[in-house]
Amino acid sequence: MRAMPLFLALIMSFGVVKNAHANEGYQTPSTDLAAVVDAKLAPSSYLSADGQWLALFDRKRIESLDDLAKEEFKLAGVKLNPANFSRSRARTKFTALTLKHIETGSVIEVNNLPAGILRSPKWSSDSQYLAFIVEQVDQANLWLYNTQTKQARQLSDVALNSVLTSSPYAWLPDSTAIVANAAVNITKPRLTTNTQNVVPVIQQSTGEKAPARTYQNLLTSPFDEQQFKFYGQGQLTYIPLSGIARPIGKPALFKSFSVSPDSTNLLVGGIDEPFSYQVPYNRFATTWQIWGMRGYALLELAKQPLADNIPQGYDSVRVGRRDFEWRADQGAEVIWAEAQDGGDMKTEVEHHDYLYSLRAPFKREPKLFAKVERRFAGIEWANDNVAMLSDWRFSDRQVRTFVIQPRNADRNRVLFSERSYNDAYKDPGRAIYERNDQGSSVIKVVGGRYIYLRGNGASDEGNVPFLDQYDIKTNTTKRLWQSKAPYYERIRAMLDDDGDRLITIRESKVEQPNFFIRDLSKNTLTQLTTFEHPYPAFKGVTKELVRYKRDDGVELSGTLYLPPGYDKTQGTLPVLMWAYPLEYKDKAVASQVRESPYEFTYIGYWGPMPYLAKGVAVFDDPKMPIVGVDGKEPNDLFRKQLVASAKAAVDVLVEKGIANKDKIAIAGHSYGAFMVANLLAHSDLFKTGIARSGAYNRTLTPFGFQGEERDFWQAQGVYGAMSPFFHAEKINEPMLMIHGQEDPNSGTFPMQSERMYAALKGLGKEARLVMLPYEAHGYKARKSLLHVLWEQEQWLDKYLLNDSDTQVKGE
């Protein structure tokens, strides 16, 4: 085998794979597949508070490999760009801005922006200004678009720091100014290291239990700590609309800051030393204070210690004061929670959390605001008479919401909703919000008694979005509107108090989502946008929601896509199945349908859809529920239920005459990759598998993973049974593995794929490992995405579409 150049260290392969060109660097798939990567999708939309302006941002979905290869530092769970003091891999990036007026339909293209990335758009509460960040090579700055002057301008030359706060600015609710986190060290010389300041790295435990999940990109040395302080340090800054900025208080490592609803105070969380090498920065010691707008500390709310010893469990929390927030419907009143169970939900107590409140001028003792029976999950505020308080519990996945009167939150509570948070059929929807007189965002309450709810409307027939009116006084709900076939239409905003005029997003199987104004009183529908179909080559794809049962009676479903022009008279098709297992505590909930048969058919480069162009049928998201029954935890039955779900999916496709049982491939990403390896090890249902960014040895995540709360020492048998690494000798089908070399995701370290590949190679199995330079858990670079599509295409050509069962083995 020819030696591989270091700069092309992309592919590690086992065996001579025919026509794969394993060592020739990045490849490009066939034309139809490649076109999917560059397809222009509908822009991201941001609606002004008054519902009159729609800001449309063109999405930057892919990066260049050069962008990913730029220098970045990995500190305390953050990847940062040292050149401009920003997160180096922000999820949402934009390239262009257009505004559309809802009533007149006028369109304004904003053309005077500098070269750079746009991100973090936020409307002012009065809807006159749209703020956003323009991120350039050496710094990021705030810009404003003024809907009255129709002009965009840079608000200030203050360079922003988003290292510890992904959105480093906040509007004052009164729309007069912005508070931003400035990068105070951006003009200072960068830190350097040498052998003179290198010291042994020493850690020592005290005997106290400190279970923690496995994390990447943590601090590893004293020099890392210096870098973290240098790049994380910010200066809160008051920037009025004039742009003349002034500092607020002193620089610090700001983890969080928020403005009070009356625009007079700040709630500030600043990180303290000592730091930790075991957990990311969001669990570092933090001091919480209330500041005046000049930066004077009015009150210290809490000094939270390092949270590296939170009890094991997904609903466990740190002890002491936590979850600080402003009460949105009041001028300046802060709310927080305190655990009454030592932070451990397994402790039997009457109330697991207490909520406390304190009003300006913050000189009295805190008031007990409410007692919470389970773990506090949050409050949605409306006014002094109405709020919605939620609590939850992981053991049975239950979440409850109560309508409360904030003046006396423990009296006359009304149970609004109680369900498993996995139970989509019982989801009552989300309250519609509005801006109150202070400019703060609160639940919209009409006539003192009506709340409006919009939801997905999950049902046996699929998602059917709705608008409901909830009567607080009678605790009853009235349906005002619901989407109708053959369209999938959902509420984006209400334009009046009666729920008659609505902004909706409407789509169908063949029509991309677009914005409409729906007038229920006049029974009219007016189209606002016209986004073109992004995948013309796939217009003939057909879509069907398929229902079937597992052998234990659990009802399952998946979405079947067939290539353009196919009908059953042509015979069976090769099938690519793409799935992701989930844990449940209830069989009925596990059986629920959570898609709409009328949603637009997105092809997308991420999943299985592009391979429809190869004449392959795609069975997307066939449900693979893992259900805890008879007192058992879901994972006690993982392998049995996983294989049973996969068999049911295969059987239904064969019974429908779509699939030949010997021509089905299984694929998945992350926990889906874990699923793939398990199915190949414990069944003979599939001809081949594709596993991306997966984990295969659960002993490398010993303090829990996915929905598993037990640690390795409590459930060694479960960890071993679920780990396909321990059963690699049973894998008899070829498996393609792909992984980003910079994957920071908890539990899916790149080593997981490397060790699994080494095991398969050592056992003489047929496998291929592709490690993508500079890529994280999801892949971003255009070259990487094209190559992934090519790798998968080549693999399917050889192992699924090739009629020959001959496989080439050996070095």
Q: Which residues are catalytic?
A: 670, 743, 777
> What is the layout of strands, in order, in the sheet containing 78-81?
73-75, 78-81, 86-87
Helix (H) or strand (E) holding 230: helix 222-232
Residue 424: alpha-carbon gap to chain centroid: 18
Cβ atoms within 10 Å of 714's Cβ, excluding its own: 12
Residue 204: alpha-carbon gap to chain centroid: 34
Length reported for the chain = 811
Q: What letter does residue 685 receive in the DSSP assignment?
A: -
φ and ψ at 649, to 5 degrees?
Answer: -65, -45
Q: Looking at this protein, which amino acid is placed at residue 761?
A: K
Q: Which 3 state secondary structure label does DSSP give 37?
A: helix
Q: Which 3 state secondary structure label does DSSP give 34?
A: helix
Written as one string, the DSSP assignment of 358-397 is: EETT--SPPEEEEEESSEEEEEEEEETTEEEEEEEETTTT
Q: Looking at this protein, which amino acid is placed at residue 809?
A: K
Written as one string, the DSSP assignment of 714-773 is: T-HHHHHHH-GGGGGGG--S-EEEEEETT--STT--HHHHHHHHHHHHHTT--EEEEEET
Residues 760, 732: Cα–Cα separation, whole Å: 10
Taking the CA atoms of residue 782, residue 784, residue 790 and residue 792 in that order, the dihedral angle to the nearest 10 degrees is -130
Helix (H) or strand (E) holding 99: strand 94-101
Residues 110, 151: Cα–Cα separation, whole Å: 8
Residues 803, 809: Cα–Cα separation, whole Å: 18
Q: Which 3 state secondary structure label does DSSP give 79?
A: strand
Q: Which 3 state secondary structure label does DSSP give 661?
A: strand
What 64-71 contacts at long range (C-beta under 8 Å, 24+ apart), as own/partner pairs, is 64/781, 64/782, 64/783, 65/773, 65/774, 65/781, 65/782, 65/783, 65/784, 67/781, 68/773, 68/774, 68/775, 68/780, 68/781, 68/784, 69/773, 69/774
Q: Please, are residues 408 and 385 in contact by the beta-carbon 8 Å criterion? A: no
Helix (H) or strand (E) holding 170: strand 169-171
Strand runs labelled E in 186-251 = 235-240, 246-247
Cα–Cα distances in Å, from 792 out to 16, 673, 690?
Answer: 16, 14, 7
Q: Please, are residues 639 and 722 in contact by the beta-carbon 8 Å criterion? A: yes
Residues 735, 727: Cα–Cα separation, whole Å: 14
Q: Looking at this protein, which amino acid is placed at residue 596?
A: S
β-strands 573-578, 617-620: how paired?
Answer: parallel
Would the CA dihedral through 154, 156, 161, 166 be positive or negative?
Answer: negative
CA atoms within a 13 Å half-sphere pointing along the CA-CB vector of 748: 24
